[in-house]
């Protein structure tokens, strides 16, 4: 991992801000303090590139934005660029996280969190990586929220929409197969794996650059079968097939990326409804633009509209079908909740947001999508690779729970003895490339005896 030389050389930066040239110690919070961590690389290199990309896009698109949002927005765009530049400087000089002073709906929750951070660990490279990264994206959104003219502007929308448009060949192939597919064990596993690998399309890992999929998604899924290093798909299937028919079966998706991945969420949700393994699939979406490509309610609605208006008949057909599912409450957008864009790990949900925890408890299964959700499930914490998933959840288990993740951060649990060591021999960067995937599952009733594999 090469480090971009922002604000002086790496050696100068490290000496000035007390960076330690070793790995994250076992059983401690991950943070940018440790130079050999992905946290350091993210804060030092990836995030400054992402922030610069937003500044460049606002500068490039300024005249278009003024035509859309009015002349008053011209000065506001200039001010926002200044605020984003200041945030980048604060990140690059390891400043302390500041409290929020605007009209953010979740201001009090964030400020309470910041004010209760450990003394001496409130700057970008000293605080837990999860907290620092979430703070950056929350602060970016706040600049637009606190404007007069750009409050509804999603600074990542164009990238997310392009991600869907650029994968249209794959989408057409998938829908043509979905039309004919029978509900069998093998087809179900295929749908789960398709959904898993949809998570590769994460723009935050590439600082906003498009991810190339190729033309045949099913060939891709099959070629990656040996890259699923934890595969509890059979347990997920067993859970969904044992639905209690006396009450409506609900599956909750805690969504990750818009674009192609959200489309694969629709595909899996469609399969669950068609196979009668779910009566309702509820989509939990982000309240604000988040980690570049995370799906918001606007992205959800835009995707359905785009499919319905496409020239390809099969896209129109499924766009209309899924919109009908929304109208019939078979597909449901979950109530907007700022907990998903908070810095909190999920084991704190029961205390911080008991109403959300209770709602999730009503589901037969929750599917947590992607790397950030995985980080929030087990925390940015250097667990042993072989630690059980149940242990790492630290008591968070509102109901049966699954995590579908392509591995893009240097934390994981639930591996066999020696498995991580063998992967490191194959590729020393295997934890951060997105080339490996995990499907992990916990049955609430048998959590103490579950095996992640």
- Largest pairwise CA distance in the chain: 65
Higher-pLDDT residue of 198 and 74 is 74
| pTM of this structure | 0.95
The mean pLDDT of 313-337, rounded to a whole number, is: 98
Question: Residue length, the chain?
Answer: 453
pLDDT digits (tens, 9 = 90+) for 333-380: 999 999 999 999 999 999 999 999 999 999 999 999 999 999 999 999
Higher-pLDDT residue of 283 and 221 is 283
Q: How confident is the model at residue 451 (pLDDT cuts 50, 70, 90)?
A: low
Q: How confident is the model at residue 207 (pLDDT cuts 50, 70, 90)?
A: very low
How far is Cα 86 from Cα 89, in angstroms, rounded to an integer?
5
How far is Cα 358 from Cα 360, in angstroms, rounded to an integer?
5
Distances (CA, A) of 197 to 70, 201, 370: 41, 8, 10
**pLDDT at position 82, please?**
98
What are the sequence ranges of the domains in the chain?
Answer: 10-145, 157-449
Distances (CA, A) of 274 to 21, 182, 188, 261, 418: 53, 10, 11, 20, 41
How far is Cα 151 from Cα 134, in angstroms, rounded to an integer?
20
Helix locations, 206-312, DSSP H: 217-223, 233-241, 260-274, 297-308
pLDDT digits (tens, 9 = 90+) for 138-180: 999 999 999 999 999 999 999 999 999 999 999 999 999 999 9
Q: Which helix (H) or strand (E) covers residue 207, if one does? A: none
42: DSSP letter: I
pLDDT digits (tens, 9 = 90+) for 178-187: 999 999 999 9
Per-residue tokens: 400: 């049966």
Classified as helix, coil or strand, 241 is helix
Residues 361 and 247 sit within 8 Å (Cβ to Cβ): no
Q: Give the torsion sign (CA, 18, 20, 25, 29).
A: positive
> 47-60 and 62-69 helices cross at what angle (nearest 10)?
60
Residues 95 and 43 sit within 8 Å (Cβ to Cβ): no
Q: Which CATH number fits domain 10-145: 1.20.930.60, 3.40.630.10, 3.40.50.410, 1.10.1040.10?
A: 1.20.930.60
Classified as helix, coil or strand, 401 is strand
> Does the 157-449 domain belong in CATH 3.30.70.2860?
no
| 3-state helix, strand and coil shares in percent for the chain, rounded to the nearest 5 | 50, 10, 40
| Block residue for tokens 């750009």 | 150
29: DSSP letter: B
Quote the percentage of the chain above a pLDDT of 70. Answer: 94
How far is Cα 16 from Cα 392, in angstroms, rounded to an integer?
34
How far is Cα 427 from Cα 414, in angstroms, rounded to an integer?
19
pLDDT digits (tens, 9 = 90+) for 425-447: 999 999 999 999 999 999 999 88
């Amino acid at each position: 991992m090469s480090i971009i030389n922002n604000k002086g050389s790496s050696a100068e930066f490290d000496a000035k801000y007390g960076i330690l040239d070793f790995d994250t110690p076992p059983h401690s919070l991950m943070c940018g303090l440790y130079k050999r961590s992905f946290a350091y690389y993210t804060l030092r290199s990836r995030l400054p590139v992402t922030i610069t990309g937003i500044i460049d896009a606002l500068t490039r698109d300024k005249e278009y934005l003024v035509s859309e949002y009015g002349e008053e927005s011209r000065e506001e765009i200039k001010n926002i660029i200044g605020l984003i530049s200041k945030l980048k400087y604060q990140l690059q000089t390891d400043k302390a996280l500041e409290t929020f002073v605007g009209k953010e709906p979740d201001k009090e929750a964030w400020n309470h969190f910041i004010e209760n951070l450990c003394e001496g660990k409130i700057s970008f490279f000293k605080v837990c990586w999860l907290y620092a990264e979430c703070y950056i994206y929350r602060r970016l959104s706040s600049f637009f929220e606190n404007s007069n003219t750009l409050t509804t502007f999603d600074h990542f929308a164009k990238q997310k929409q392009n991600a869907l448009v650029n994968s249209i060949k794959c989408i057409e192939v998938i829908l043509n197969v979905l039309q004919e597919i029978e509900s069998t064990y093998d087809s179900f596993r295929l749908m789960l794996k398709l959904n898993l690998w949809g998570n590769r399309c994460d723009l935050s890992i590439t600082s906003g650059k498009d991810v190339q999929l190729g033309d045949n998604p099913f060939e891709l899924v099959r070629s990656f079968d040996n890259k699923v290093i934890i595969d509890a798909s059979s347990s997920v299937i067993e859970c969904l097939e044992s639905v209690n028919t006396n009450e409506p079966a609900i599956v909750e998706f805690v969504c990750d990326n818009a674009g192609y991945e959200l489309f694969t969420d629709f595909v899996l949700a469609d399969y669950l409804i068609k196979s009668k393994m779910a009566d309702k699939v509820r989509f939990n979406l982000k309240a604000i633009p988040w980690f570049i490509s995370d799906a918001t309610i606007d992205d959800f609605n835009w995707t359905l509209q785009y499919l319905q208006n496409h020239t390809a008949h099969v896209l129109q057909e499924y766009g209309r079908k899924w919109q009908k599912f929304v109208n019939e409450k078979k597909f449901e957008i979950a109530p907007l909740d700022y907990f998903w864009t908070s810095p909190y790990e999920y084991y704190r949900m029961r205390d911080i947001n008991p109403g959300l925890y209770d709602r999730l408890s009503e589901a037969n299964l929750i599917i947590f999508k992607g790397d950030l959700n995985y980080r929030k499930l087990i925390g940015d914490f250097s667990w042993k690779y072989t630690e059980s998933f149940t242990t790492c959840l630290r008591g968070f288990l509102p109901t049966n729970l699954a995590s579908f993740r392509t591995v893009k951060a240097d934390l994981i649990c639930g591996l066999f003895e020696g498995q991580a060591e063998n992967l490191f021999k194959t590729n020393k960067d295997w934890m951060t490339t997105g080339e490996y995937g995990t499907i992990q599952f916990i049955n609430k009733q048998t959590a103490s005896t579950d095996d992640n594999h």
